Structure 1
Amino acid sequence: MSAPELAEPLTLPCGATLPNRIAKAAMTEGLATIDGKPTEELERLYGIWSDGGAGMLLSGNIQVDRDHLERPGNVIIHGEPDTELATRLASWAAAATRSGNHFWAQLSHGGRQTQAIVNPHPKAPSAVKLGLPGGQFGEPVALTVDEIHDIRDQFAIAAKAAQDAGFTGVQIHGAHGYLLSSFLSPRANQREDDYGGSLENRARFLLETVSAVRDAVGQDFPVSVKLNSADFQRGGFQFEDSLQVAQWLGDAGIDLLEISGGNYEQPKLLGIEGMEAEQKQNVAPSTARREAYFVDFALAMQDKVSVPLMVTGGFRSRAAMDYALDSGAADVIGIGRPFCHTPDAARQMLNGSEKLPTPEDELALIPNWLGFLKRLQMLKAIDGFATQYWFYSQLYALGRTGNTAPERSVFAAFREVEATHKRLMARRG
């Protein structure tokens, strides 16, 4: 059987068909109202992306709990939506699917990675604070079992609301250190009940959530999960754990598994290098010689997991995308940042482009005289998050004007994003 091409459709286990193998990966937008309703800016942004050629668009974090945001400006579906929210969700979904592509809602709960300005005491599996300086994140409080069950049900309610609004699928965010992901990690999850201890117990919350969502949306609607290949931390969620959880998710009947990695403490998701040796995983070491961060993890999974795989992180060249498809590592190629500055990135690749533009390579984030300090892990993390703000700023520009702002400096972008967050939080207060 020949390897799939980027332009080839993919039929998922539920029967739905993606028109091609390129997905716009989830990226936080920060363009919702203060109470979490979609806006005209979100409709404009996703309409542009719908016209850009990707077979599937994933939304940024749609939070199932208004008190646990990933950042101010998240869309929120907390409980049954009122008429206004349902109407705005439907308008957003219509704009995002206007060119015949799929649009999936990424459902999430910030957990202990909720910023302190949003919630100084966020809920988590255990009262284990993030190991980051600066006081940006609060002191977490351990969830009760009843609260776990309530959040599970909130995911299901949000999934049904998305389906009713015209979204064509959902993704449950089980990666990057957010709530479901933190339950999987023995560093963050120190519970001694049915939701802690063994891997089976640590995965229980995620698997129960998948089951509740499937029951809510039915068998013919795509249900996906985003899962860390590893946390890249000593004593954290390891690749062998991820492989077992992926098998359980396949048995649970999901339609697509997206492979990613890292969390706020170890932000591999931002492409930050320099992991210590003890944080590396037991997989082939060739990823460092390629642009795509998580291909080797997907390759190691392919013989154990039957569910289609989506690999996201670092893809910039046609050669890397073709390799991932040809090797069987990926069934879907996830692309993120290029869509911020090149909204028709998918169409360019489908029309034969060999490489996507990468302006992040040229961003001068730290003055040259401090360049030697970038070798330090903490400053690498600062550098990565500063870069992220520039991409946030491009999403603001696309949503508000329909055009990118490539001339905007990193420092101007940082000021813009911080000012937007403060304005939203002042209104929230």
Structure 2
Amino acid sequence: MNPPDVFAPARLGPVELRNRVIKAATFEGRTPDALVTDELIDYHRRPARGGVGMTTLAYCAVSPEGRTDRHQIWMRPEALPGLRRFTAAVHDEGAAACAQIGHAGPVANAASTRLPALSPSRRFSPLGMRLTRAATAADLARVVEAHAAAARTALAAGFDAVEVHFGHNYLVSAFLSPRLNHRTDAFGGSLANRARLALAVARAVRDAVGDRLAITAKLNMDDGVPGGFWLDESIQVAQWLEADGSVDALELTAGSSLLNPMYLFTGDAPVRDFAARFPQPARLGLRLGGRFFLREYPFREAYLLDRARQFRAALNLPLILLGGITTVDTMNLAMAEGFAFVALARALLREPGLVRRMRADAGARSLCVHCNRCMPTIYTGTHCVLAPEPAR
């Protein structure tokens, strides 16, 4: 059979997208009051106008302590009017709208949220410079229901899909990780126990919205740290999710925002740019020791593909390929290898109209140079430092 055309319409669960290109979730830095702003809407309107099939709003926490900092949206009644304006604007451009929902767990900055960060086991967090709190069974039940409530809010706001965040050592991902999860109760030890929270969250979201929304999960293939979650266990979790029927697709990712963030991004590590965002003495500390945390991995096209192939071989579930997709040839390769969708992040930050340009010229490639200097701009409004001002 001929592989599908990446630019032709495709179904994601109950939703038809105009093509198979998704704007991946990347924190926008445009919600100073934890609510939708005109700047946030414009940020997503540009890639929607530029031709993506769906754009993903990041990051929508399911509870106030689940934010990485206090400026992020959390799904509550006060957020609903702005979220409705957001989906209307995206739909006006012909694209679908997805809300990424999740709980940051140990990646939450407790100094910013002024609430204890939850994690599988008590540990020191360099993000908030304080100890996290081991989540109780009651905390986990509340978090599961909060995901369901967030999905219902997304449905009421007019979203077409939700993406549940099971990656980057956010709460669910931290429970999956044997390095971070040292529990001895029903949520620790065996993989079946460590995956209990992921399966419960996915099922709660599905039960909350049924087939009225597409549901995807952003799942770590591996954490990129010794002793962390890795391919063999991740494939098993993916198979359990597929068997449960709770998700319509998986977006495969990697790395730990807590322990090794550059493992996902690859390319240059902008240590000096990050350091410049902080006051002294943190600035000096980052400049001297930042290379130990922001490790540098050389960029290569489709750098997650080798690992993602293992999942394609083990599953029938639709898969979304993420990671360094910059050419139509790579998109076509993904389609030929059985992936249902491709997801772009930095390439669309550099050039929101990239998909439209690629449709017109199959030889077009992204202008992104993978310098990653966009990463420190999350504190002032995420943007590509090389993009012209109107594109920001």
**TM-score normalised by structure 1 residue count:** 0.78
User: Which residue does 1:354 correspond to in 2?
Assistant: 363
Letter paired with 2:305 = V
Letter paired with 1:28 = F
User: Which residue does 2:123 correspond to in 1?
Assistant: 128
User: Which residue does 1:341 correspond to in 2?
Assistant: 350
Distance in 1 between residues matched to 2:145 and 2:328, nearest whole Å: 41
Q: How do 1:278-427 and structure 2 match up within 5 A?
A: 290-328=300-338, 330-361=339-370, 387-390=374-377, 395=382, 403-404=390-391
Report whether the alignment pairs 1:89 with 2:78.
Answer: no
Q: Percent identity?
A: 31
Letter paired with 2:264 = L
**TM-score normalised by structure 2 residue count:** 0.85
SS in 1 for 2:165: strand
Residues 313 and 335, structure 1, Cα contact 8 Å, conserved in 2:
yes
Distance in 2 between residues matched to 1:11 and 1:164, nearest whole Å: 21
Residues 29 and 73, structure 1, Cα contact 8 Å, conserved in 2:
no
Over 3 Å counting, the alpha-carbon distance change for 1:233 and 1:272 in structure 2 is farther
User: Which residue does 2:221 correspond to in 1?
Assistant: 229
Q: How do 1:127-276 and structure 2 match up within 5 A?
A: 127-130=122-125, 136-253=128-245, 254-264=247-257, 265-267=259-261, 268-271=263-266
| Alignment equivalent of 1:70, drawn from 62, 68, 71 | 68
Unaligned runs of 5+ in 1: 275-286, 364-383, 406-429
SS in 2 for 1:333: strand
User: Which residue does 1:9 correspond to in 2?
Assistant: 9
User: Which residue does 1:381 correspond to in 2?
Assistant: none
Residues 395 and 404, structure 1, Cα contact 8 Å, conserved in 2:
no
Letter paired with 2:6 = L
**Number of residues of Structure 1 aligned to a counterpart in Structure 2:** 359
Residues 360 and 387, structure 1, Cα contact 8 Å, conserved in 2:
no
| Alignment equivalent of 2:98, drawn from 99, 104, 121 | 104
Unaligned runs of 5+ in 2: 270-296
Distance in 2 between residues matched to 1:249 and 1:396, nearest whole Å: 34
Letter paired with 1:263 = S
Distance in 2 between residues matched to 1:343 and 1:123, nearest whole Å: 36
Letter paired with 2:73 = V
Distance in 1 between residues matched to 2:379 and 2:356, nearest whole Å: 22
Residues 27 and 378, structure 2, Cα contact 8 Å, conserved in 1:
no
Residues 120 and 175, structure 2, Cα contact 8 Å, conserved in 1:
yes
Measured after TM superposition, the shift of residue 106 of structure 1 is 0.2
Over 3 Å counting, the alpha-carbon distance change for 1:62 and 1:120 in structure 2 is closer
Over 3 Å counting, the alpha-carbon distance change for 1:164 and 1:387 in structure 2 is closer
| Runs of 4+ that moved beyond 6 A | none
Measured after TM superposition, the shift of residue 92 of structure 1 is 0.9
Over 3 Å counting, the alpha-carbon distance change for 1:137 and 1:63 in structure 2 is farther
